[in-house]
Amino acid sequence: MWGSDEPPRLPTGGAPPSQPDYFPPPGGYRFGFFTLTPESMSLPDDLGVTDALAEFREKLPGMAEVMEVDAAGMHTTDTIDFIVVISGACWLELDDGAETRLGPGDCIVQNGTRHAWHNRGDAPCVLFVSLLGATRA
């Protein structure tokens, strides 16, 4: 929804700042919502995989590059992520395999750690996300 690749400066004219990639660089930020569909949903039989991947890369630039090929959903980013579950439920999987179920109102802070999000329920899960670009030491 909103973000910048630079630290905020005031005042602003209200025009959306540049944010070419989904994840912000150090000093940048993002704000928005993310919906996790239930894992039980099946893909349409007529899904064109090549076209779907192209659309994924177009709408979420940089996301595919952080996703692990051999571990579904696992990813690591150079961001501090502030996340609030708005509706539905999801499971946060951590690097050690531990999983935590989260529901409406639950808050998580991810500090650049390897993790994955899963929706094992039967309804979409809506998350508020705020990402702050950081430098990995």
Give the other-Cβ count within 10 Å of 33's Cβ: 11
14 in any annotated domain? no
Is residue 53 within 8 A of residue 67, CB to CB? The reply is: no
- Supply the CATH number for residue 62's domain: 2.60.120.10
User: Which pLDDT belongs to residue 81?
Assistant: 97
78 in any annotated domain? yes
Quick one: pLDDT band at residue 44, thresholds 50, 70, 90? confident
Facing residues of 116 across strands? 93
Facing residues of 92 across strands? 100, 117
64 in any annotated domain? yes
31 in any annotated domain? yes
> Mean pLDDT across the stretch 18-23?
91
13 in any annotated domain? no
User: Which pLDDT belongs to residue 52?
Assistant: 83
> Mean pLDDT across the stretch 13-36?
92
Q: What's the domain count of the chain? A: 1
46 in any annotated domain? yes
12 in any annotated domain? no
82 in any annotated domain? yes
Give the other-Cβ count within 10 Å of 99's Cβ: 13
pLDDT of 43 higher than 80: no
pLDDT of 113 higher than 90: yes
pLDDT above 90: percentage of residues in the chain = 69
Q: Which domain holds residue 47?
A: 2-7+19-133
pLDDT in tens, 80-94: 999 999 999 999 999
